Structure 1
Amino acid sequence: MLSLLKSLREYKKEAILAPFFVSLEVFLEIFIPYLMANIIDIGIKNSNLPYVIKLGIVLLVMAGFSLFFGILAGRYAAISGAGLSKNIRHDIFYNVQNFSFKNIDKFSSSSLVTRLTTDISNVQMAYMMGVRTVARSPIMIIMALIMSMRINFKISLIFLISVPLLAIVLISIAKLAHPYFIKVFKNYDVLNNAVSENVNAQRVVKSFVREDYENQKFKNLSKNIYDLFIKAELLVASVSPATQVVIYTVIILILLNGGTSIVIGDMTTGQLTSIIVYALQILTSVITLSIVFILMIIAESSIERINEVLNEKTTMENPKNGEKVVKDGSVEFKDVSFSYSDNMQHLSLKNINLKIESGQTIGIIGATGSSKSTLVHLIPRLYDVTQGEILVGGVNVKNYDLEKLRDSVSMVLQKNTLFTGTIAENIKWGNENASMQEVENVCKMACADEFINEFPNKYDEQIYEGGNNVSGGQKQRLCIARALLKNPKILILDDSTSAVDTKTDARIRQAFAEDLKDTTKIIIAQRISSVENSDKIIVLDDGKVVGYDTPENLLKNNTIYKETYEAQKKGGVIDEN
C-alpha cells in the first residue's frame, strides 16, 4: 500500500486530517470509562446527585465531540480514498498510453480492465478502512491498556497475553489466504477476456450456433473463481470466531479476577466496570484491525497487480531533443532484423535491405505469416528493430520525436477500429482541427462519401460498438479517410481494402495516384490487382525479401509473384466478386 500512497498528491491534506480527527475521537473515548467509574464509585455510592449530573453533562459533551470528530474523520477518509483511487486509475491509464506494442503484448486488455476497476476498488476499500483504523486501533489499544493498568495492573496483564496471541493467529491466516486471492484475480482476467471475446464476437457465436459451448465455458471459468474464493473465504472466515473466543475468554477472566478483587477490597465496582469497558475497547479495536487485515489480504494481491502496470517501463525511448521535422517520405531499411522476443534465434524479419524513394507507391505481397505487417510496423516505431536501422527522410527513426514521426507516417492497420461517436468525430482523429471541407475531401478520396451521404444524418451519423453498424468495407474506407486527414509523408495500408470490391479498390488507388503524388504509399495486399500498378513490389517469404522490383520484372523473374499472379488471374471472375 505504501508504494501507492504517492498517488494521493492533491489529497494529502485529507489523508492527514482523517487520522488526526480519529486521534481526537479516540482520546475523548478513552476518558469516558474513567468518568463512568467516578460516577459509580463517588456519585452513586455516596448518593451525590449534583456530582452525577455534573459528570453526566461532561460525558454528553465528550460523546458529542467524539461523534463530531468521527464524522469529520469519515468524511476526510472517504475523500482521500476516492482521490487515491482516481489518481491510481489516472496513473495506470496514462502509463498504458506510453506503452509500446511490446509492452501491450505483455498484458491482455481484460487484465488491464480488471486492474483499473476491481483491483483499484479493493485498494480504495482497504485504504478507507485502514486510514482510520491505523490511527484509531493502536492508540485505543495503548491508551486503554495504560488506563486499565492504572486501575489494576494484575488484571491488565490478561490483555498483554491475549493481543499478541490473536496477532499470531491473524498473520498465519493471512499467509495461507494470500496465494488464493492472487489466483482469484488472475482467473478474473481470464473470465473478463472470455466475456469480452464473446460480446465482441456475438455474430460469429450465433452464426455457428455455439451459445451452449460459450455458456459452458463461462460456467467453468466462473466455477473456478467460486472454488478459489470458497477456499480463501473459509480461511478468512476463521478470523471472526478466533477473535470472539479471545474476547469472551478475556471478559470471563476479568470478571473472575475482578469479582475476587472486589470481595477482598482491592477494587471497586466502578473500577471493574471501567476495566470491562476498556477491555471491550481494546478487543473491539483488535476486531476492527482483523477486518482491515482481511481487506489488506485481498488488497495486497490487487496492489501487486497494480504495481506491475505502474512499474512497467516502456521499451521504446522517446529522445529528449528528437528531430521534429520529417524531410520527405523516403524509407530505407539497413540490415534490419527483428524478433518479438529479442531472441536472435527466433527472427520474424531477417537481414532486410530496402530503399524506397519519396512519393513512390510500393506494394507488399507474401504468404500468410511472411511478416508483411511486422515490416511496416517498424517504420512508425510501433516496434523497434532488434538489429540494424531504419531511416525515414534520411534520419534514423529512433532519433525522431515519436509524436512527430507518427504524425508523418499514417497507418491503416489490418484490424480496423472505429470509436463510439459520429462519423466526423472518427475521421477527425486524423486531425482534430480539420475543417468539414477537409473531412469531406478525404472521404471522397477514400470513396466513403457515397455511403456516408446515404445515412440520415450524413457525417453526424453515430458509430456504435467499434463500428458494428457499418459494413467491413465501409469501416475500411472510413479508416483510410481518417489516415488521409493527417496529410502524411508516408501512407501505409495494411491489407486495408480486403473488404472493398475491386472496382472501388481501383478508384481509391486512382485517387491516391492523382492527389498523393508526393506521399510515399506502401500497400500490403493479398490481391495482385491492388498492387500491380505500384512502382515496385516487395515479395516476402519467411521474413526475408525474396523479390523487390517492378511488377513487370517480378513477373519474369520471381517465382512467388508469378505463381500468385497466375493463380489469381485464372480465378479472375471469382476475384472480381
Structure 2
Amino acid sequence: MLLKLLIRYLSRYRLLLVGVLVFQFASALAALFLPTLNADLIDTGVTQGDVGYIVRTGLWMLVVALGQILAAIVATFCAARAAMALGRDIRHDVFAKVSSFSEREVSAFGSGSLITRNTNDVQQVQMLAVLSATMLIMAPMMAIGGIIMALRQDVGLSWILGISIPVLLIVAGIIVSRMVPLFRVFQTRIDAVNRVMREQLTGVRVVRAFVREKIEAQRFRAANTDIMIVGRKVGSLFVLMFPLVMLVLNVTIVGVVWFGGLEIEAGNTEIGTLFAFMQYVGQILGGVMMASFMAIMIPRAAVSAERISEVLDSRTTLVEPESPVSEMPTRGEVAFDHVSFTYPGAEKPVLSDISFRADPGETVAIIGSTGAGKTTLISLIPRLFDATDGSVSAQGVNVTQADLDVLWRGIGLVPQRPFLFTGTIASNLRFGREDATDEELWHALEIAQAADFVRDKPDGLDTRIAQGGTNVSGGQRQRLAIARAIVHQPDILVFDDSFSALDLTTDARLRQALWRELPHVTKIVVAQRVSTITDADRILVLDDGRSAGLGTHDELIETSETYREIIASQRGAEEKGVTA
C-alpha cells in the first residue's frame, strides 16, 4: 500500500527523482573514492616523504570532498521538493475525497480520524519520502560500493564483514518486527486524542455549564496517557536499537584494527591500506545503519499510508450519475414517493413508506416527536443521504440523477445546529453567494429578523465571527444562518427546526417576512412548535418514522390522533408554565 501510494504521487515528479538518483550516485562515488586516495597519500606520500605527492593528492581529495558535498546538497534539495509536493498533493486529494463524502462516510471514519489522516499520517509518508530519497537510496550504494572497494584493498579481512553485516541485519529485523504493531496502535491513539480534544473545544460551553471540567480533563488525561504508553514502548525499542548497532560497529572496527595489525606485522598489507579498509568498513556499516533506520521508519509510514488509502479508495454513497441532469424542468417542486431509509447496521428503518409533495411556492411542514426521523427526511432532499427505497425528487428530477452542483444550487439548507465560519458577518452571508451586494445582505437580514442586532454591532457587516459562531447567541446564530440561506437565492428553502432558539414574537415576524418576501420559494419546515406551522399549506406528521397524517392544520385536527396529542402536550406544557 505504501509503495503504491508513493508511486502514484511521486511519478508526477520524475525529473526531480532523476536528479536525486544522479546526484546521490555522484555523491556515493566521491565518498567511496576518498579512502583510496587517503591510502595512496599515506602509502606513497607519507611513508616515502614525498611532500609534492602529499600536496597534489591532498588537493585532489579536497576537490572530491567539495564535489561530494555539492552533489549531496543538490540531491537533498531535489528530494525535499519532491517530498513536499507529495505531501501537498496527498492532502489535496484527501480533502477533496472527504468533501465528496456523505454524512454516512464521515460518521463511519469520524471527523477526528479524518483530520489525523490528513495531517499526521500525511506527514509520516512525506517524511519517509524525504528519507527514502536520501538515506534509502544512499544506503545500498554505500554498502555495496564499500564492499567492492574493501575487497580491492584487502581480501584477507573481508571475513569480518561476513560476520558483522548479518548480525547487524538480524538485530534490526527483530526490533523492526516488534515496532510494526505498535505504530498501528499509536496512530489509533492519536485519533482518540484528537476526538476528545475536538469534542471539548466544540462543547466547551456545555462542559462548563455542567461543571465537567475535571471529568473531561480526566478523559483527555486517559487518552494522552494511552499515547504515552505506546510511545514509551516505541522509544524503548529505538533506545535499544542504536546502542546495539553501535556495539556491532565498534566491535567490527576493533576486529579490523586487531587483525589488520597482525597483517601489517606479517608484511601482508600496508598501513594506508588498513586505514582505507577501516574507512570502507565504516561506510558499509553506515549504509547498513541507514537501511536499519529506514526499516524503522517504513512500518509507521506504511500504517499511515494504509489509513490514507482507506480514505482515498473508499467509495462514497454520494455518487454523481454517469449522465447527470443539469436542466431542471420545474422550479421549487419537491416530491417523496414511498421513501424508506435505513442506516447501515440498523435493525429497523428510520423512515418507512413516506410520500408527500410540495409544489412551487408552497410551505410543507414536518412535525413529530424526538427521534421520529424529521432531520433524516429532509437530509434526503439535498442528498446528504440516499433513500434506501423509493425516490426523492427535487425540481422535477430524481435527486440521484441530478447534477449535484445544480441540485445544491437550487436548495438553501438551514441545519438544526447552524454553523458559522471564522470571518465576518458579511463573509458568512456571502458563503451562500459570493457576488451578493451589501444591499442584498441587508435585505436578507431584514427577512431573517437579524438586521437590528447587526446594526447595533460597532462594525456592522464587518463584525468578526469566531469559529462556529461561538461569539453570538444561539438565536442570532440561527437568524444569520437563515439570512445566509436567503442570500443563496434558492428555489427550495429547507429549515431543520431553525426557529427553535427564537421567541414566539420573532418567530412569527420571521415567518411572515419569509412568506411575504419569498412567495415563489418552496419552504420545507421542520418544527417542534405547532404555532410555527399552523399556516403551512400541508403538514406531515411523523411517528416513529411513519406518516401519521398529512394535511392542513384543521384537517389534521380532525383526522390525526398523533397530531392532536402533540397539540395537547404542548398546550399542557404552556398551561403548566403559566401556572408556575
Residue 575 (structure 1) shift? 7.7
Aligned to 2:25: 23
Q: Tell me whether 1:54 sits opposite 2:56 in the alignment.
A: yes
Structure 1 residues 337-376: aligned runs within 5 Å: 337-341=340-344, 345-376=347-378
Aligned to 1:329: 332
Aligned to 1:226: 228
Residue 513 (structure 1) shift? 1.5
Number of equivalences:
576
- For each residue in 1:489-514, what CA deviation from the matched residue of structure 2 results, as whole angstroms up to 9, or x when unmatched? 21110000100111111111111221
- For each residue in 1:392-429, what CA deviation from the matched residue of structure 2 results, as whole angstroms up to 9, or x when unmatched? 23321111101101111211111110001111110111
Residue 361 (structure 1) shift? 0.7
Alpha carbons of 1:479 and 1:9: their partners in 2 closer, same or farther (altered >3 Å)?
A: farther
Describe the SS at the equivalent of 1:248: helix
Distance 1:477 1:4 in 2: 45
Residue 116 (structure 1) shift? 2.1
Identity of aligned residues (%): 36
Distance 1:159 1:308 in 2: 43
Aligned to 1:195: 197
**TM-score, normalised via structure 1 length:** 0.96
Describe the SS at the equivalent of 2:400: helix
- For each residue in 1:138-173, what CA deviation from the matched residue of structure 2 results, as whole angstroms up to 9, or x when unmatched? 011111100111122232232233223322322222
Aligned to 1:310: 312
Letter in 2 for 1:349: L
Distance 2:314 2:332 in 1: 33
**Unaligned stretches of 5+ residues in structure 1:** none
Letter in 1 for 2:3: L
Alpha carbons of 1:205 and 1:338: their partners in 2 closer, same or farther (altered >3 Å)?
A: same
Describe the SS at the equivalent of 1:238: helix
The match for 1:150 among 152, 167, 191 is 152
Aligned to 2:3: 2
Structure 1 residues 163-182: aligned runs within 5 Å: 163-182=165-184
Residue 189 (structure 1) shift? 1.0
Distance 2:204 2:107 in 1: 24
Aligned to 1:556: 558
**Unaligned stretches of 5+ residues in structure 2:** none
Residue 358 (structure 1) shift? 2.3
Q: Runs of at least 4 residues of structure 1 off by over 3 A?
A: 8-12, 570-577
Residue 192 (structure 1) shift? 1.2
Aligned to 1:110: 112
Kept after mapping to 1: 8 A contact 2:142/2:284: yes
Aligned to 2:519: 517
- For each residue in 1:86-115, what CA deviation from the matched residue of structure 2 results, as whole angstroms up to 9, or x when unmatched? 221111111111112211111222112222
Kept after mapping to 1: 8 A contact 2:337/2:356: yes
Structure 1 residues 457-496: aligned runs within 5 Å: 457-496=459-498
Q: Point out the more displaced range, 449-458 or 157-166.
A: 157-166
Aligned to 1:130: 132
Kept after mapping to 1: 8 A contact 2:193/2:220: yes
Structure 1 residues 225-244: aligned runs within 5 Å: 225-244=227-246
The match for 1:529 among 520, 528, 531 is 531
Distance 2:467 2:421 in 1: 7
Q: Tell me whether 1:213 sits opposite 2:212 in the alignment.
A: no
Describe the SS at the equivalent of 2:468: coil
Letter in 1 for 2:334: V
Residue 323 (structure 1) shift? 1.3
Kept after mapping to 2: 8 A contact 1:17/1:76: yes
**TM-score, normalised via structure 2 length:** 0.96
- For each residue in 1:365-388, what CA deviation from the matched residue of structure 2 results, as whole angstroms up to 9, or x when unmatched? 111111101011111111111112
Aligned to 1:186: 188
Q: Point out the more displaced range, 325-334 or 272-281.
A: 325-334
Describe the SS at the equivalent of 1:399: coil
Q: Point out the more displaced range, 131-140 or 347-356.
A: 347-356
Aligned to 2:88: 86
Distance 2:209 2:518 in 1: 41
Q: Point out the more displaced range, 285-294 or 523-532.
A: 285-294
Aligned to 1:98: 100
Distance 1:16 1:309 in 2: 30
Distance 2:38 2:286 in 1: 19
Distance 1:368 1:479 in 2: 23
Distance 1:402 1:442 in 2: 25
Kept after mapping to 2: 8 A contact 1:137/1:285: yes
Kept after mapping to 1: 8 A contact 2:45/2:54: yes
Alpha carbons of 1:449 and 1:12: their partners in 2 closer, same or farther (altered >3 Å)?
A: farther
Distance 2:146 2:426 in 1: 67
Distance 1:433 1:320 in 2: 31
Letter in 1 for 2:341: F
